[in-house]
Amino acid sequence: MSTVAANALGAAGGGLQDVAASEASLRRFLHGLPGVDAVGLEARAASLGTRSIKTTAKAYAIDLAISMIDLTTLEGADTVGKVRALCTKARNPDPSDPGAPRVAAICVYPDMVATAKAALEGTDIQVASVATAFPAGRAALPVKLADTADAVAAGADEIDMVIDRGAFLSGRYLDVFNEIVAVKEACKRPDGTAAHLKVIFETGELQTYDNVRRASWLAMLAGADFIKTSTGKVAVNATPPVTLLMLEAVRDFKAQTGIQVGVKPAGGIKTTKDAMKYLVMVNETLGDDWLTPHWFRFGASSLLNDLLMQRQKLTTGRYSGPDYVTVD
Amino acid sequence: MSDIASRLDAPARIQVSKTYKLYVGGKFPRSESGRVYEVTDSKGQWLANAPLGTRKDARDAVVAARAAVKGWSGTTAYNRGQVLYRVAEMLQGRREQFAAEVATAEGISGKKAAALVDAAIDRWVWYAGWTDKVAQIAGGANPVAGPYFNLSTPEPSGVVGVVAPQSGYGFSFLGLVSAIAPVIATGNTVVVAAAADAPLPALSLGEVLATSDLPGGVVNVISGRTADIAPTLASHQDVNGLDLSGAIAAEGPGSATELEAAAADTLKRVIRPALDQAALDWTNAPGTERLLSFLETKTVWHPMGI
Amino acid sequence: MAKNNKKAEETVTPKGRLFEYAPAPESPAAAGDIATSYGHFIGGEFVDSSGSEALKTVNPATEQVLAEFAQGTDEDVDRAVAAARKAFTDWSALPGSERAKYLFRIARIIQERSRELAVLESIDNGKPIRETRDVDLPLVAAHFFYYAGWADKLDYAGYGANPKPLGVAGQVIPWNFPLLMLAWKIAPALATGNTVVLKPAETTPLTALRFAEICRQAGLPKGVVNIVTGDGRTGAALTAHPDVNKVAFTGSTPVGRAIAKQIAGTRKKLSLELGGKAANIVFDDAPIDQAVEGIVNGIFFNQGHVCCAGSRLLVQESIQDELLDALKRRMATLRVGDPLDKNTDIGAINSAAQLARITELSLAGEAEGAERWSPACELPSAGYWFRPTLFTGVSQAHRIAREEIFGPVLSVLTFRTPTEAVEKANNTPFGLSAGIWTEKGSRILWMANQLKAGVVWANTFNKFDPTSPFGGYKESGYGREGGRHGLEAYLDV
């Protein structure tokens, strides 16, 4: 997860190297993307949501989903104790079953990165940090870059940045693009490696699916390693149709450029049933290439316990209850 | 011409008689057969020679009617209304001539004939007002259970064959108008098989239509034997609808049953003749049935989303 | 994806191998008891046929016989029409508000028993359970609910004050949506005060017979609904019966034509929902992912056994490659197999005869030079199956571009301009439905205006609703089903 192409579009640009040459060319490109029919997109997502995942498929999907979780705490009230507890949970999600898979990452604010890093010492669990004046993103660029650099210096493996929605909605696409490029630069470490960059759109604020598709391409063109729906801090977070649209975007981007980009829905995904729907969407839109924690993540906290309860049910044949999973 | 017409002229003068011709594609051709047949009044007295239209004349008329569909159905409903109203205006000016033709055709008094012509003129006016209202009574929004805009609108069927009424009070002109006007009001074009024994009002109507801003081909009038013309229209694959108002109800060649069966080959929309045509009174209020008979409901769906 | 930009490489694996869905079968037992043999439903009773001929209905996914049922004789039809005639007097005199309550009851019982009916429909028809469960049954109940509400409001329907019913309606329905077509026929007929004799298709009689039970549960007066089973001979006896006042038929254009001929010269009112060869037109500015879904839904929904199926894809030449790549990728994810598996997208072909017809026309497509493509997918060993199939390089003259295949076979043609698209779309004797995909609003409305089709889906396809009139232009039939328009077919107006 720590090796990053210096420039996402490098040699294999798919003819897109010049798209961001100017505000006009970038706008022309983004507005030339195919439109999204909202009703059709939502119907497709809903239809995939009716897949019936049973027995062996369910067991596979539960373990896969657990392994894809960015176990998250992003509260003003976060403490070292809270973060350590969460890291313990990440290492050993189900004390009653050591065979339960570990989560992919712990996601915290930058000032908790060092704590998390220390707590996860010796595991391959990644530490992800939000940055760039998360969640609003309303700060000057130098502040955002300092925020990012601070998290990277503290040991963050992954950076979850937010885009400037104000700039995006007012049509200043090149500003958004340049900011992503700058943050990506700030993700670099002195040893030449770099933290993985996830770009958060806050799709609930972008309002339209057309905007989500444009934001997806803009971020991928700027070098995002992952595109992520939401901060979890606004009224509307990840939804199946928004995620499906972003899956289609990474599919098309790979088809055109050869570059694979990951997707992370975040916020509001609370149940195993929800997680199954997302995995079905990944499976039927992208297939095997994305069915790994390297390329798909869930930004979630309470989801993990529901997955563990369902997992216990499959293992023991009895329905579990909240007292049989840990509250951290 | 007839004795009625001659009354209008000074006795010393030899009047100029009219050669009755077909009305096809806005022009007045003779029948391709080169033949005519005698038209007499109800007492058997000769009135005029009418063109003996053939199957080929009917076919030419269908071609003309098809060519006119796009323009006529594509014009605005407001414009169609004005054209139909213009027909009424033109008829008003030729009221006496039509009264004379109707009186001889139906064997009724000049006064009754004039009243029927007045009713026919009024009927054009009635249908002129319908052109831009029919979509609102026949169409509308459908409240489907989903995020879709859903609208139904009536559209013309296309080319309609009209076997003109041949009996019933007022058939020769009011009946004819009652058959033609509603069909073209909604944007269809028509080929009329004129009443075989009383074709003169229909042929004269062609002259009025030609001077009423009605595009050529929208109405085409063929006189001749119904048994020649009606089956051609009924079996023609480029005819979409068939009004059998004037078809004989009995079984046998040229009967309504046979025509309806022929129309079934291309699934034409059909108006059947009344059970007792002779008992018809064309002065009765027409209602909307004829207006709605040669319409197709088109329903368009579109998602609503941002 | 940017337009006109050929993709760099095809690296996306469309179909997952890691995440295989385990079987998720619906229980066949949920269909309830299927008798070994069935008679007719006449005058409120299940009765034996006057004849001895019996037909068999098979599960097309297994070829196993589900039940025997009676081949309705002329005498059976006569009895049923007499029962309907007898019931008509009281039924038509019943206040509309009371008729409404029976229909509301039927709608509710259908909802209560929807799982049973969905499973039974899947077993008898071969269509996937997710369709019967999510599409057919909800629409069936909705249709009865909708027309129930009309029964006491006919004065306001625009057909004059106190419009009268016609009398006895003889209704013949197809096998592609057995229960939904029954609802489309029976609900408006009953709401307007007619009584009915309905003949279900000979490959799918079971849900109609189960519906007869629902009529009994609803307390519907005897003889208001009569079900006579049998093949085309029974249908012809019904439509020809002299005491039938109304004939309603959904099925093929040749049969519809024969019925129209048969009733010529009678006073029977006729409505026909016949075949189609719909154009699904995709412009280069279409919402491409949704267009692909619409194409798939348009032709593979219900195994393509849909009269309004979007069986001709008309794609603008400038996006042909891009669209076809996306379409093939999507087709590769279609799951063909056990209709009772909740994850099945495409079920069994309804009958051996239909499979033979689809096969024959597909071979004709190849013989005429069109290029055939299907995704790799395993088919069950027993039963009637056909892979989702795409033909490219099709021209207007090919049989597969002109004849209704009524199966999961899509013919792809191209166009350059909107005018050419309209010309090609309209160049057929059919005129049931059409699809338009473009983000340009004014073009949608222009196209919708030009297309000779009774239903135009713009940026969507195969949507149905009881409030929305459905029916064709030209040789796709006449009359409308659904909405206020649907009442007209059953009123003396």
For chain A, what are the domain ranges? 23-324
In a domain, B45, yes or no: no
C131, C202, C307, C308: which one is catalytic? Answer: C307
Return mean pLDDT, chain C.
96
Q: What's the CATH number where C40 sits? A: 3.40.605.10
Q: Same domain, yes or no, for C287 and C145?
A: no
CA nearest C270: which of A209, B263, B148, B107? B263
User: Which tokens sit at A47?
Assistant: 């239809």
How is chain C split among helix, strand and coil, in percent rounded to 5?
40, 15, 40
Full domain range(s) for residue C321: 279-458
Judge: C478–B269 Cβ closer than 8 Å, yes or no. yes
What pLDDT does residue B10 have?
Answer: 59
- Return the residue matching tokens 């609102």: B136
Q: What's the CATH number where B130 sits? A: 3.40.605.10
Q: Same domain, yes or no, for C293 and C314?
A: yes
Indicate if A184 belongs to the active site: no
The CATH number of A23-324, from 3.40.50.800, 3.20.20.70, 2.40.160.10, 3.60.9.10, is 3.20.20.70
Judge: C11–A283 Cβ closer than 8 Å, yes or no. no
Contacts of C333 in chain A (CB under 8 A): 284
The answer on pLDDT for C420 being more than 70 is yes
> What value does the mean pLDDT take over residues C366-386?
96
CA nearest C323: which of C277, C286, C278? C286
Q: What is the largest CA-CA distance in chain B?
A: 82
Chain B: partners with 3+ C-beta pairs within 8 Å? A, C
Comparing CB atoms, the residue among C160, C456, C475 nearest residue B267 is C475
Contacts of B304 in chain A (CB under 8 A): 39
CA distance B28 to chain A (A): 54
What does the DSSP assignment read for C387-423?
Answer: --EEEES--TTSHHHHS---SSEEEEEEESSHHHHHH
In a domain, B85, yes or no: yes
Q: Same domain, yes or no, for C111 and C53?
A: yes
Percent of chain C with pLDDT over 90: 96
* B76, B267, B294, B302, best to mutate vs chain C, most C CBs in 10 Å: B267
Measured CA distances, A256 to A29, A245, C15, C319 (Å):
14, 16, 19, 15
In a domain, C22, yes or no: no
CA distance C203 to chain A (A): 29
Judge: C265–B157 Cβ closer than 8 Å, yes or no. no
Q: How many residues does chain B have?
A: 306
d(CA C320, CA C413): 9
3-state secondary structure B228-291: HHHHHHHHCCCCCEEECCCCECCCCCCEHHHHHHHHHHHCCEEECCCCCHHHCECCCCCCCHHH
Judge: A39–B306 Cβ closer than 8 Å, yes or no. no
> Which B residues, 99 through 158, put their C-beta within 8 Å of a C-beta on chain C?
137, 140, 142-146, 148, 150, 152, 157
d(CA A223, CA A208): 23
User: Which tokens sit at B107?
Assistant: 């064997």
Which residues are paired to C341 by β-bridges?
Answer: C25
Measured CA distances, A93 to A109, A308, A324, A325, C282 (Å):
21, 8, 12, 8, 50
Structure ipTM:
0.95
User: Which tokens sit at A328?
Assistant: 């951290």
Contacts of A207 in chain B (CB under 8 A): 306
The answer on pLDDT for C8 being more than 60 is no
What pLDDT does residue A118 have?
Answer: 98
H-type helices in C126-252, by residue range?
Answer: 129-131, 137-150, 178-191, 206-217, 232-240
Judge: B301–C470 Cβ closer than 8 Å, yes or no. no
Judge: C2–A33 Cβ closer than 8 Å, yes or no. yes
Q: Residue C212, Cα to own-chain centre: how many angstroms?
A: 20
What pTM does this model have? 0.94
What pLDDT does residue B250 have?
Answer: 76
User: Which tokens sit at C317?
Assistant: 């030449």
Residues 6+ apart with CB under 8 A from A36: A208, A209, A210, A212, A213, A245, C287, C289, C290
Comparing CB atoms, the residue among B256, B258, B299 nearest residue C454 is B299
Judge: A34–C294 Cβ closer than 8 Å, yes or no. no
In a domain, B48, yes or no: no
In a domain, B171, yes or no: yes
CA torsion angle C186 C188 C189 C191 (round to 10): 110
What pLDDT does residue B258 have?
Answer: 96
Count of domains in chain B?
Answer: 1
- Closest A-chain CA to C135: A47
In a domain, C443, yes or no: yes
Give pLDDT < 50 ranges for chain B.
1
Q: How many residues does chain C have?
A: 493
Full domain range(s) for residue B64: 22-29+54-303
| C460 touches B: beta carbon within 8 Å | yes
| A287 touches C: beta carbon within 8 Å | yes
What pLDDT does residue A14 have?
Answer: 73
User: What pLDDT, in 10s, does the model give residues C107-155?
Assistant: 999 999 999 999 999 999 999 999 999 999 999 999 999 999 999 999 9
Comparing CB atoms, the residue among B146, B261, B298 nearest residue C261 is B261
- The angle, 0 to 180 degrees and rounded to 10, between the axes of the packed helices B200-210 and B176-185 is 40
Measured CA distances, C355 to C362, C406, C408 (Å):
10, 10, 10
Contacts of A206 in chain B (CB under 8 A): none
What does the DSSP assignment read for B133-181?
Answer: THHHHH-EE---SSSEEEEEEEEE-SEEEEE---SSBTIIIIIHHHHHH
Indicate if A198 belongs to the active site: no
In a domain, B81, yes or no: yes
Q: Is the peptide bond before A135 cis (omega within 30 degrees of 0)?
A: yes
In a domain, B16, yes or no: no
Which residues are paired to C315 by β-bridges?
Answer: C282, C414
Contacts of B145 in chain A (CB under 8 A): none
Q: Same domain, yes or no, for C90 and C184?
A: yes
d(CA A287, CA C136): 30
- Return the residue matching tokens 């309606």: C169
Q: HSE-up of C227 (CA within 13 Å, CB side)?
A: 33
- The answer to whether the CB of A54 falls within 8 A of the CB of A250 is no
C-alpha triplet B157, B162, B166: angle, nearest 5°: 155
- Closest A-chain CA to C287: A35
Comparing CB atoms, the residue among C158, C261, C473 nearest residue B137 is C158
Residues 6+ apart with CB under 8 A from C57: C65, C66, C67, C68, C69, C124, C202, C203, C204, C205, C206
In a domain, C215, yes or no: yes
- Return the residue matching tokens 């498929």: A57
Q: Same domain, yes or no, for C127 and C232?
A: yes
Q: Same domain, yes or no, for C223 and C248?
A: yes
d(CA A43, CA C346): 18
- Return the residue matching tokens 């899509």: C410
Q: Same domain, yes or no, for C86 and C48?
A: yes
Judge: A37–C287 Cβ closer than 8 Å, yes or no. yes
Query: Beta-carbon neighbour count of residue B34 at 10 Å?
Result: 9
- The answer to whether the CB of C107 falls within 8 A of the CB of C144 is yes
C202, C273, C322, C475: which one is catalytic? Answer: C273
Indicate if C439 belongs to the active site: no
Q: Same domain, yes or no, for C258 and C326?
A: no
- The answer to whether the CB of C437 falls within 8 A of the CB of C281 is yes
CA distance A46 to chain C (A): 11
Max mean pLDDT among A13-17, A92-96, C197-201 falls in C197-201
Inter-chain contacts counted by CB atoms under 8 A, chains A and C? 123
User: What pLDDT, in 10s, does the model give residues A292-317?
Assistant: 999 999 999 999 999 999 999 999 99
Count of domains in chain C?
Answer: 2
In a domain, B11, yes or no: no
Chain C: partners with 3+ C-beta pairs within 8 Å? A, B
- Closest B-chain CA to C260: B264
Judge: C293–A36 Cβ closer than 8 Å, yes or no. no
Residues 6+ apart with CB under 8 A from A85: A328
User: What pLDDT, in 10s, does the model give residues A114-124?
Assistant: 999 999 999 99
Contacts of B260 in chain C (CB under 8 A): 260, 264-265
d(CA C250, CA C153): 27
Measured CA distances, A313 to A92, A277, B81, C106 (Å):
18, 19, 74, 40
Judge: A39–B305 Cβ closer than 8 Å, yes or no. yes
In a domain, C382, yes or no: yes
User: What pLDDT, in 10s, does the model give residues A251-294?
Assistant: 999 999 999 999 999 999 999 999 999 999 999 999 999 999 99
Query: Beta-carbon neighbour count of residue C479 at 10 Å?
Result: 22
A264, A274, A277, A306: which one is catalytic? Answer: A264
Q: Same domain, yes or no, for C308 and C236?
A: no
CA nearest C485: which of A16, A93, B150? B150
| C201 touches B: beta carbon within 8 Å | no
Judge: B267–C474 Cβ closer than 8 Å, yes or no. yes
User: What pLDDT, in 10s, does the model give residues C238-292?
Assistant: 999 999 999 999 999 999 999 999 999 999 999 999 999 999 999 999 999 999 9
Query: Beta-carbon neighbour count of residue C207 at 10 Å?
Result: 28
What pLDDT does residue A2 have?
Answer: 32
- The answer to whether the CB of A309 falls within 8 A of the CB of A322 is yes
- Closest B-chain CA to C459: B302
User: What pLDDT, in 10s, does the model give residues C390-405?
Assistant: 999 999 999 999 999 9
Query: Edge-to-edge, what's the strand order for the sheet holding C37-38?
Result: C37-38, C64-70, C54-59
